[in-house]
Amino acid sequence: MNKRLKYISLFLLLILIIPINAQAKTLGQLKQEYSAIQKKYDENQDKIKHTDAEISAAKSRVASIYKEIDQVNAEMKQITEEISRLNKEISVKEDQLKDLMKFFQVSEGESTYLEYIFKADSITDFIYRVTVTEQLSKYNDELIKEMHAMIEENKKNIAKLQKKEQDLKRLQEELADKLVVLDQEKQQLNDADADIKQELKDNLAIINFYIKAGCKESDEVTSCAKSQLPPGTKFWRPTDVGFMQSKWNIDPLSGGGWRYHAGVDISNSSGTKVYSVSDGKVVTTHRTDNGGYGLYVVIQHNINGRVYTSLYGHLRSINVSVGQIVSKDTVIGLMGSTGRSTGPHVHLNICLGQSACQSLSQTVDPRGYINFPAHYTWYRDRTSVY
Ligand SMILES: [Zn+2]
Give the pLDDT confidence of 40-55 residue by residue, as tens digits.
999 999 999 999 999 9
DSSP 351-365: EESS----STTTEE-
pLDDT in the model for residue 17: 38
* Inter-CA distances, 253 with 129, 153, 243, 336, 339, Å: 123, 88, 17, 17, 13
Say how many Å lie between the CA of residue 238 and the centre of ligand 1.
14
Say how many Å lie between the CA of residue 260 and the centre of ligand 1.
10
Instruction: For residues 307 and 144, give the distance between their C-alpha atoms in angstroms, rounded to a whole number.
Output: 98
Say how many Å lie between the CA of residue 314 and the centre of ligand 1.
9
pLDDT in the model for residue 12: 46
C-alpha torsion sign, points 88, 84, 159, 76: positive
For residue 335, list its beta bridge partners.
315
CB 337 within 8 A of CB 291: no
Say how many Å lie between the CA of residue 262 and the centre of ligand 1.
7
Per-residue pLDDT of the chain (386 residues; tens, 9 = 90+): 455 555 555 444 444 433 333 357 899 999 999 999 999 999 999 999 999 999 999 999 999 999 999 999 999 999 999 989 988 988 887 777 777 666 665 444 445 667 777 788 888 888 887 887 777 777 777 888 888 888 888 889 889 999 999 999 999 899 999 999 999 999 999 999 999 998 898 889 889 888 988 899 999 887 887 778 888 888 999 999 999 998 887 766 655 445 678 999 999 999 999 999 999 999 999 999 999 999 999 999 999 889 999 999 999 999 999 989 898 999 999 999 999 999 999 999 999 999 999 988 899 999 999 999 999 999 999 988 77
pLDDT in the model for residue 11: 47
Instruction: For residues 269 and 38, give the distance between their C-alpha atoms in angstroms, rounded to a whole number.
Output: 40
pLDDT in the model for residue 14: 41
Say how many Å lie between the CA of residue 335 and the centre of ligand 1.
13
Pairing type for strands 280-286 and 345-352 reads unpaired
Instruction: For residues 271 and 288, give the distance between their C-alpha atoms in angstroms, rounded to a whole number.
Output: 18
**Chain centroid offset of residue 364 CA:** 33
Say how many Å lie between the CA of residue 263 and the centre of ligand 1.
6
Say how many Å lie between the CA of residue 268 and the centre of ligand 1.
13
Check residue 289 and give left, alpha or beta (phi > 0: left; psi -120 to 50: alpha): beta
pLDDT in the model for residue 15: 40
Sketch the domain layout of the chain as residue ranges. Answer: 49-192, 231-379
Neighbours of 209 (CB within 10 A): 19
CB 309 within 8 A of CB 229: no
Instruction: For residues 296 and 177, give the distance between their C-alpha atoms in angstroms, rounded to a whole number.
Output: 56
pLDDT in the model for residue 3: 53
Pairing type for strands 295-303 and 231-232 reads parallel
CB 257 within 8 A of CB 341: no
Element (H, E) at 163: helix 123-212
Instruction: For residues 310 and 331, give the distance between their C-alpha atoms in angstroms, rounded to a whole number.
Output: 14
Say how many Å lie between the CA of residue 86 and the centre of ligand 1.
92
Q: What CATH architecture applies to the domain 231-379?
A: Distorted Sandwich (2.70)
CB 152 within 8 A of CB 88: no
The CATH topology of domain 49-192 is Helix Hairpins (1.10.287)
Say how many Å lie between the CA of residue 351 and the centre of ligand 1.
15
